[in-house]
Amino acid sequence: SRVVSVRATTSSQRPTGTYTGTNTAVVRATADANPGNNSSTASTRVECPTPSPPDVSVVKTAASSVITAGQNAQFNLTVRANGPGTSQNVLLNDTLPNSGLAWSLVTNPGGCSISGNFLSCSFGDLASGQTRVVSIKATAGQCPAGSGSYTISNTAVVIAAVDANPG
């Protein structure tokens, strides 16, 4: 009696769905009293689940919730690839308030620029768990006549080639 083991590996490139791998073994001998038992077949079912698409997110925070006119208003934007897998072609866009403010980059992880009142960053591919932090600032102008304060606020958007939770 001899035992032969065969191991097969499925391709990670298979489309989603269920596949059955079947293999038949045959043995032959010069003299065989029972040739009907010379082959045997076994099957293994392989399930290929639909992979979850990667997710990217952005969190924008103000470095200080209250400043005095003439001081810098700084905002920090943290882009994160939440997985699973790699987020591809990650872009960060932020239309900055255009109320006479001159915006500039404080921290640039690479791939970012400000043109007028538009921040644009191209981070390429980010592996699951990777982050990029961008900091921007503008000097707060004087308060409008008759007003004790005003608010600088805006929203940033991050997108990727595929995103499980866009928006």
Closest residue by Cα to residue 131 from 72, 73, 90, 75:
90
Q: Residues 98, 154: contact at Cβ < 8 Å? A: no
- 3-class state of residue 37 by DSSP: helix
Read out DSSP for 105-127?
EEE--SSEEEETTEEEEEEEEE-
Can you give the length of the chain in residues?
167
Residuewise pLDDT in 10s, the chain (167 residues): 666 666 666 666 656 666 666 777 777 778 888 888 878 788 888 777 777 889 999 999 999 888 888 888 899 999 999 998 899 999 999 999 877 788 999 999 999 999 988 999 999 999 999 999 999 998 887 777 777 777 887 888 888 888 777 76
The pTM (predicted TM-score) of the whole model is 0.69
How many whole angstroms separate alpha carbon 156 and alpha carbon 150?
A: 20
Residue 123: both structure tokens together: 């981070």
